[in-house]
Chain A
Amino acid sequence: MTAKTATQNACKLCNPLGACLAFRGIEKCVPFLHGSQGCATYIRRYLISHYKEPIDIASSNFNEETAVFGGSHNLKLGLKNVSQQYKPEVIGIATTCLSETIGDDVPMILKEYASIMADEGALPVMIFASTPSYSGTHIDGFHAAVRSAVKTLAEEGPKKNLINIFPGMISPADIRYLKEILTAFGMPFVLLPDYSQTLDGGPWAEYHRIPPGGTPTRAIASTGSAAASIEFGSTLEANKSAAGYLEERFGVPRHHLPLPIGIKASDRFFAALEQLTEKPMPEIYEDERRRLVDAYADGHKYIFGRRAILYGEEDLVISMAAFLHEIGVVPVLCASGGKSGLMKQRLLELVPDLDDLGIKVREGVDFVDIEHEADELKPDLLIGNSKGFTMSKKHDLPLLRIGFPIHDRFGGQRVHHLGYRGTQELFDRIVNTVIEERQKSSPIGYTYM
């Protein structure tokens, strides 16, 4: 019999982790968790194992008294201490299940803190995200932090020739690529959050309390007067997103797109850029696209009809499914620990023949559920983060590692997913995974495949 009530080998992480990650992408910002010491420490080690960078997360360090009498004192003391030691320009505060359950009114506490400290000179900007671990997943925490950053800092102003990009939870390599694209279009832009350097940077001569890099606060302030926002994430709704807020508050149009993975989705992204900048796609990306189309042709026979199980964050799974669909691989199961309730609907927009192909879409599942599906579905490969390795080993299935976390391979922070270039890399890896399996399983020992 199969246990249904408990979550076994979760295919999701908790809300505050996403907020900490997003805060890491704001310049001179220290993430601060209002809760037990353990939350900060566990989240740090989890992020460090993927990004291989120091990640300091402060904690208000609850004890029994705090839990009984409220976290106000600890939070204020913590903010004071972290300000003294880190000299941050921004403190990104996220709650935990503990502080949410006792009902701490953090915005109120922050107000009190500001008035107590009124004579102490300029205070860091406080960005607050409510991230109770008992609802949603890390992705919700991520978006809550980004939205809150914009809500806190964005200002109204005369419309500028400026584009906002809210790409969601992507790799540092992807962030760098997006910045390169925007630069090539010659368009001023603000990308938030930008942890391309803070979580994948160079060596240090001395310890940086806060690593260099990140989106500057003044840039976030200017998002209110941008000409438009581009926001990735199929299941990300306007009322939870940064671009949604800017549209509602300042009338900045929100261009909501799926993560640009695959040719079709990348075309949509570039088309949006062409429209907004009124410039044609730079030649280097035309070249990238041409090479990708050519690669699709060269590689199609290896992979046609192969069956893949996809798992991870809903938006990543949706975009990956659309990409697999355009190269002839069948994503027989699209699974996520997230539960937006929107996954199938959004997938249908990109893969209209989903049901005809027998593609299953499952939200709110764990790895044990996915394993049961694997027994039935007999896939050829798995595509997702490192946590699928247990299943991969047990079922003797190759695992193509993408997204987060990648804890059992080197260079997870540099995995490309987005645009023609990212798609090219993913495509090469998928084809090679299939080739490798064939080569390994053949007794002949072909030296060319």
Chain B
Amino acid sequence: MDTQKITLLEGREHQVYEKKQGGPEVDIACDKTSLSGSVSQRACVFCGSRVVLYPVADAIHIVHGPIGCAAYTWDIRGAVSSGPELHRLSFSTDLQEMDVIYGGEKKLYRSLVELIDQYQPNAAFIYSTCIIGLIGDDIDAVCKKVAKEKGIPVMPVHSEGFKGTKKDGYKAACNALMKLIGTGSTEGISKYSINILGEFNLAGEAWIIREYYEKMGIQVVATMTGDGRIDDIRRSHGASLNVVQCSGSMTTLAKDMEAKYGIPFIRVSYFGFEDMSKSLYDVAQLFPDRPEIMEKAKEIVRDEIRKYYPEMQKFKAALTGKKAAIYVGGAFKTFSLIKALRTIGMSVVLAGSQTGNQDDYRRLKEMCDEGTVIVDDSNPVELSKFVLEKEADLLIGGVKERPIAFKLGVGFCDHNHERKIPLAGFIGMYYFAKEVYESVMSPVWQFAPRKGGLK
């Protein structure tokens, strides 16, 4: 098969762009649902909601529908908890044919009551899946009833898979959180306080970030949702600032909180030295009446970079000139990764995301080098075409991209929600560089066909 001959699917031409001198200034078409019959790397509305709420550890998460959606999301993420671990259990109403015919409300009610009695959670999230949208179960009514009987918040999450894209799922999750926010006491919250949004505590990343801010003298009221707790979320409207990572999933919530509680927000990223430092400085700047916060931020940045710099130079020496391809969920992560890769001497030949918006892609175009290909909602055929054409040495992506890289004999860095190694924070940049180094520099690629195969 000739990779040159791979044609883009009709209807996808505007979701791929190559940055060329004098090339046309077209906008990437995004925010589209995936094309029928293309093998999208995206998921569905349910997935978006599940991803955002999953790390809330003292709530039970009940998937209302047939078994698949619950089974495929059982304990699949590296989102760790410092206390309760209810989020690592998988609960499903496991609807059967008769339930589909006669409705699943009673089963949902019974499931909820029993699970709440057994696990004594501080809240429950009820996710509706595709067929709930068809059989018309009134999950709001069931949730209301159970909340009243059991005295805990029971939040419906309207995440029917087909009703939009993953982004709509983010929104449904944010709506559920928004209903919790404002229901707790804000007593004891300092003026110098923040919420950390869009940080899911994969491999303990939220703890790393939280520690930096706390060292600066800033109180972290709630992390949403990494190592999340219902009571923290309920009082999070008492914080002075929302610091939003993973813009795709949590900007909605930040905007809603701004509108309702007047809490301003900033967008940050914790990946790479550059963006990590900036996320500390940006926060410090918003508390100008306490200069020691900025002083402390500078000290942290200095100390941390000093700690990892020598190792980084070693990685950089080996990796300089190597080429990377990035295909991840959110575009904001792509920006950070481009910078982080530059820190270790690598250039980016492909950059793309599942869910970027117009602004994201405009910014990506500005950041990227000549010849970089930019894609929205790509698929395996396209990704491998560009990885091979551009002779990438590394692909950064998730579970579904990993075997593509390995089949083609390309190094791979797991930048997904399954990861067990923290990639955020200064120490995370070290782990990132180390992982990239270990995959790109492995001697095993000498046997790969694209390297000649050694035969």
CB distance from B434 to the nearest CB of A (A): 20
Q: In the complex the two chains form, is A57's CB within 8 Å of B39's CB?
A: yes
Asked if A14 lies at the interface with its beta carbon under 8 angstroms from chain B, I say yes
How many contacting A-B pairs (Cβ < 8 A)? 254
Q: In the complex the two chains form, is A41's CB within 8 Å of B400's CB?
A: yes
Given the complex of chains A and B, what is the CA–CA distance between A135 and B99 in angstroms? 11
A54 touching B93 in the complex, CB below 8 Å, given contacts A13-B71, A41-B400: no
B380 touches which of A39, A132, A207 (Cβ 8 Å): A207
Q: In the complex the two chains form, is B111's CB within 8 Å of A6's CB?
A: yes
Q: In the complex the two chains form, is A62's CB within 8 Å of B71's CB?
A: no
Asked if B228 lies at the interface with its beta carbon under 8 angstroms from chain A, I say no
CB distance from A299 to the nearest CB of B (A): 34
Asked if B40 lies at the interface with its beta carbon under 8 angstroms from chain A, I say yes
Contact with A along B177-220 (1 / 0, CB 8 A): 00000000000000000000000000000000000000000000
Q: In the complex the two chains form, is A54's CB within 8 Å of B44's CB?
A: no
Chain B contacts for A204, CB-based, 8 A? 407-408, 449
Chain A contacts for B115, CB-based, 8 A? 3, 6, 8
Q: In the complex the two chains form, is A4's CB within 8 Å of B40's CB?
A: no
Which of the 9-residue segments A74-82, A142-150, A160-168, A178-186 touches chain B? A74-82
Given the complex of chains A and B, what is the CA–CA distance between A120 and B400 in angstroms? 33
Q: In the complex the two chains form, is B67's CB within 8 Å of A41's CB?
A: no
Q: In the complex the two chains form, is A56's CB within 8 Å of B39's CB?
A: yes
Question: Which residue of the partner chain A has the closest CB to B70?
Answer: A10
A8 touches which of B33, B90, B96 (Cβ 8 Å): B90
Chain B contacts for A387, CB-based, 8 A? 74
Asked if A191 lies at the interface with its beta carbon under 8 angstroms from chain B, I say no
Q: In the complex the two chains form, is A6's CB within 8 Å of B36's CB?
A: no
Q: In the complex the two chains form, is A101's CB within 8 Å of B402's CB?
A: no
Q: In the complex the two chains form, is B130's CB within 8 Å of A81's CB?
A: no
Given the complex of chains A and B, what is the CA–CA distance between A245 and B129 in angstroms? 35
Question: Which residue of the partner chain B has the closest CB to A96?
Answer: B130
Which of the 9-residue segments A45-53, A271-279, A341-349, A374-382 touches chain B? A45-53
Asked if B348 lies at the interface with its beta carbon under 8 angstroms from chain A, I say no
Asked if A203 lies at the interface with its beta carbon under 8 angstroms from chain B, I say yes
A41 touching B130 in the complex, CB below 8 Å, given contacts A1-B114, A5-B110, A207-B381: no
Chain A contacts for B274, CB-based, 8 A? none
Given the complex of chains A and B, what is the CA–CA distance between A316 and B312 in angstroms? 50
Given the complex of chains A and B, what is the CA–CA distance between A37 and B354 in angstroms? 13
Q: In the complex the two chains form, is B100's CB within 8 Å of A97's CB?
A: yes
Given the complex of chains A and B, what is the CA–CA distance between A220 and B97 in angstroms? 32
Q: In the complex the two chains form, is A206's CB within 8 Å of B399's CB?
A: no
A37 touches which of B2, B161, B400, B403 (Cβ 8 Å): B161
Chain B contacts for A110, CB-based, 8 A? none
Asked if A327 lies at the interface with its beta carbon under 8 angstroms from chain B, I say no
A61 touching B400 in the complex, CB below 8 Å, given contacts A6-B114, A10-B71, A203-B409: no
Considering only residues 189-231 of chain A, those with a C-beta below 8 Å from chain B are: 203-209
Chain B contacts for A391, CB-based, 8 A? none
Q: In the complex the two chains form, is A3's CB within 8 Å of B44's CB?
A: no
A37 touching B42 in the complex, CB below 8 Å, given contacts A77-B36, A101-B131: yes
Asked if B406 lies at the interface with its beta carbon under 8 angstroms from chain A, I say yes
A101 touching B135 in the complex, CB below 8 Å, given contacts A6-B111, A63-B162: yes
Question: Which residue of the partner chain B has the closest CB to A56?
Answer: B39
Q: How large is the interface on A (under 10, 10 to 19, 20 to 34, 35 or more residues)?
A: 35 or more
Chain B contacts for A13, CB-based, 8 A? 67-68, 71-72
Considering only residues 14-49 of chain B, those with a C-beta below 8 Å from chain A are: 33-47
Asked if B89 lies at the interface with its beta carbon under 8 angstroms from chain A, I say yes
A207 touching B37 in the complex, CB below 8 Å, given contacts A134-B97, A134-B100: no
Q: In the complex the two chains form, is B91's CB within 8 Å of A203's CB?
A: no
Asked if A292 lies at the interface with its beta carbon under 8 angstroms from chain B, I say no
Q: In the complex the two chains form, is B400's CB within 8 Å of A60's CB?
A: no
A38 touching B403 in the complex, CB below 8 Å, given contacts A203-B448, A206-B1: no
Chain B contacts for A434, CB-based, 8 A? none
Given the complex of chains A and B, what is the CA–CA distance between A82 and B38 in angstroms? 6
Q: Report the 4 A-B pairs with minimum CB-CB distance, sorted nearest first.
A: A38-B44, A81-B37, A14-B68, A78-B37
The 30 sampled A-B contact pairs (Cβ below 8 Å) are A2-B114, A6-B94, A6-B114, A7-B94, A8-B90, A8-B92, A17-B68, A36-B130, A38-B46, A39-B44, A39-B68, A42-B43, A42-B69, A48-B400, A48-B402, A52-B406, A56-B39, A56-B380, A58-B39, A64-B162, A67-B130, A67-B134, A78-B37, A97-B131, A134-B96, A203-B407, A203-B447, A203-B449, A204-B407, A390-B88
- In the complex, besides A77-B35, A206-B388, 14 extra interface pairs with C-beta distance below 8 angstroms are A7-B91, A38-B43, A45-B72, A48-B402, A52-B403, A56-B39, A63-B33, A75-B36, A79-B37, A80-B37, A81-B36, A81-B37, A134-B100, A206-B408
> Which residues of chain A have a CB within 8 Å of any CB of chain B?
1-10, 12-17, 32, 35-46, 48-49, 52-64, 66-67, 74-75, 77-82, 84-86, 96-98, 101-102, 132-135, 137, 203-209, 387, 390
> Which residues of chain B have a CB within 8 Å of any CB of chain A?
1-3, 7, 9-10, 33-47, 62, 65-75, 88-97, 99-100, 107, 110-111, 114-115, 117-119, 129-131, 133-135, 161-164, 379-381, 384-385, 388, 398-400, 402-404, 406-409, 447-450
